[in-house]
Amino acid sequence: MKWVTILVIAIALVASVLAALLYAAGGSAAQSAGDVKIPTGYRSWFHVNTLVIDKASPLYDALGGMHNVYVNSTGEAALKKGGPYPDGSIFLTDLHEVVVSDGSYAEGPRKAIAIMIKDDKQTSTGGWIWQLWAKGDPTKPLVMNAVKQCFECHQPKTDQDYVYSTYIP
């Protein structure tokens, strides 16, 4: 059963990052996305899960790699309850290449950082601000249209406040 949960989370993360990459070249600016910064210290936040998208996935070319998902302290309690999330909740995905050596999988170079920030004023995107940065470089934002690039893929999770990640004790 845990593999099913992990697979669902992996597919959801892959879909949201893929949508961002596919639409990065066009669209209008995401609401408040230009003001979004990569939070410092996110690796000390609650680690929601890690998943690997490997060559067996049809999304490998765009999103292959190791996805490390974190939530800040504001969102952690809501994650454990299954939502809804209070304003200020942040989910961050740190996407890396996967390095395989002697049968061991390890985190390689960074491919991207994706973020969701709860802000109920963002009504067109389900109350979330979204951004994705190429290689985690704050000067290389990729989200230009959060509705098309992010929110459309998250709409199936309305019952979880548009969040695919779930708490796995």
Mean pLDDT (whole number) for 151-164: 92
Q: Work out whether strand 90-101 and strand 46-53 pair parallel, antiparallel, or are unpaired.
A: unpaired
Domain count, the chain: 1
Q: Cis peptide before 169, with omega less than 30 degrees from 0?
A: no
Q: Is residue 110 part of a domain?
A: yes
Kindly report, residue by residue over 24-69, the tens digit of the pLDDT. 333 333 335 678 999 999 999 999 999 898 899 877 886 789 999 9
Residue 4 counted as domain residue: no
> pLDDT tens, 107-146?
999 999 999 999 999 999 999 999 999 999 999 998 999 9
Q: In whole angstroms, how far apart are CA 121 and each of 22, 88, 157? A: 26, 12, 19
pTM comes to 0.78
What pLDDT shows up at residue 15? 40
* 127 vs 117: CA distance, rounded Å: 8
Residue 18 falls within a domain, yes or no?
no
pLDDT tens, position by position, 67-103? 999 999 999 999 999 999 999 999 999 999 999 999 9
Residue 154 structural domain? 36-160
- Report if residue 168 sits inside a domain: no
Which pLDDT value is given to residue 139? 94
Strand partners, 134: 112
Examine residue 21 and state whether it is found in any structural domain, yes or no. no
Domain harbouring 142, CATH code? 3.50.70.20
Structural domain includes residue 14 = no
Q: Are 96 and 73 in contact (CB under 8 A)?
A: no
